[in-house]
Chain A
Amino acid sequence: MNTLRVVFVGGLTSYRALFNWISPWIFIPHTLGYPVFEILFFAYLGRFAGVQSDQFFLIGNAFLAIAVTGMFGMGHATAGERRSQTLAALLASPANRFAVFLGRALPSIVTGCFVAATSFTICAAVLGVHVTFSSLPGLALATVAAAFACTALGLCLGALGLRGRNVSVFADVIGACMLVVSGANVPLHLLPGWVQTISSGIPLTHGIAAARAIANGASIGSTADLLAKEALIGCIYLVAGLTMLRLFEYEGRRTASLETF
């Protein structure tokens, strides 16, 4: 019961603090405005280039919105604790580490899905993209899988925050690379072979591919392999993130570097 309390109450509290969420006037432009204009930017770029459809960019960038919330939410969690000088107190507590950081992960996943769905709906209306009602469950499933995988990657970045002081910039660069490498804005077959190899091992790639196939009429069953790959990648990053957390916490204690800016 205490673990559940740490997950839900602790996670919600830290999440509110993370976003300084005191007013919708801050939350909406930052969390919703950014992805909406990102989708429109790339959709218009695609129109100008005459490459791919609006739907291609709409789905790709709506999923990137998941990456932003999942990765930054988790990635900034430890950096935020360090900045407000509460990291040592948090790590000195007997609370289960998995529960503490899972508490930070869950709201990020929920926010990622909410942001993706809302920005998708707004931009579909603006760009005149129609998606059939029957494809919505499949899209929702792909969204959850991608949100989980991105948040797991964010956990790895958050763990790095126990050792490095510039994790936010690093997360920023990783997020930027995903614009290209995940296939969100550039068809994967146009990328060099070695980039495609990286693409196959990162979150989002398979989730985006599955979502595009579903939006084009494919069934959930026919995209099950893509969805399973996305979930599997998320599991691998989750295990890696938890291992890194344990390792870096130990190193941070040993070298007394937890509060180093």
Chain B
Amino acid sequence: MIPAILTGVRLHMKQASRNPFDLSGVIVWPILYASIAYYLLDAKHEPKLLLSASFGASVMLMWSMVVIASSGALEQQRWQGTLELVVAAPTPLTAVIGPICIGGALVGTYAIGAVLLWGAVLFDVPVHIEHPLAFALAIPAAALAVGLLGLIMASTFVLYRAAFHLGIATQYPVWIVTGLLVPLSLLPSFVRPISWLLAPTWGFRGLHEAALGGTPWPDIGMCLVLSAAYLAIGGTFLVAFEYVARARGSLRLT
């Protein structure tokens, strides 16, 4: 199973990195969100806030890539008529869909470089990483956790043919409740416990703390703990939903 997962991650990363047109979206979206944040937050005259916004915009794209990659891949397989073959293969479906989600999140990490470069060149955002080692580890930890959160969502994509549209609709709610650009203190108090359950919260905090000089290790640890939990929950959901889809004979329906 491990080789299947590693091969899947490598394959989907290569696939997603081949098309310059698709990659332009990966670069442009976070740059635009970061630019909006720079223009608005510049009024506060706090350079560290702008660097923090860069990481927020990057994690926003990471989540988008996971949703788009997983739902898009399943939809494409439905259209190509290969989804039944994938489900019928002896390899567990988790080892097929998990890598798509993680691959999407890893492609989303391209955004970190793009946004930091954009901010430094055009907005004079100071790029100084306080804990380089922790920062280097925080990136894959965030990608893994965000990707595996996508696995839970992807399990529903097996069941519903229009899951892509529902997946897209989750982008802004997740961005809001995880405090990526807007501090949670500004939001209603019931949002905070929800944010604790969602990986982008901890992925962003890990990057933020490592770059700006805080304590990133608890956040990186939370990413790993949540990754394990998501894998267990997503794997279980996937088995259950796959069974339902097979029983209904709805796998192929486009």
Contact = CB atoms under 8 A, between A and B. Distances in A.
A164 to B, nearest CB: 8
Contacts of B181: 41, 45, 48
Nearest to A167: B21
A33 B168 CA distance: 10
B165 A26 contact: yes
Interface stretch (B3-11, B25-33, B243-251): B25-33
B185 to A, nearest CB: 9
A168 B203 CA distance: 29
B36 A173 contact: no
Contacts of A42: 36
B176 A44 contact: yes
Contact of A169 (B22, B40, B165, B187): B22
B32 A186 contact: no
A176 B32 contact: yes
Interface in B197-216: none
Given A47-B186, A49-B44, A169-B25, A40 B168 contact: no
Contacts of B25: 169, 172-173, 176
A177 B28 CA distance: 8
Interface residues of B, number: 34
A1 B130 CA distance: 71
Contact of A44 (B43, B79, B187): B187
Contacts of A30: 165-166, 168-169
B175 interface: yes
A38 interface: yes
A8 interface: no
Contacts of B193: none
B189 interface: no
Given A41-B182, A176-B29, A180-B36, A50 B169 contact: no
Nearest to B163: A26
Given A37-B171, A46-B40, A83-B79, 4 more contacts: A20-B165, A29-B169, A34-B172, A49-B44
A-B residue pairs, 9 tightest by C-beta: A37-B172, A49-B40, A30-B165, A29-B169, A26-B162, A44-B182, A166-B21, A33-B169, A186-B39
25 contacts: A26-B162, A29-B166, A29-B169, A30-B168, A33-B169, A37-B169, A37-B171, A37-B176, A40-B176, A41-B176, A41-B182, A44-B186, A45-B40, A49-B41, A166-B19, A169-B22, A169-B24, A172-B29, A173-B25, A173-B29, A176-B29, A180-B35, A180-B39, A185-B40, A186-B35
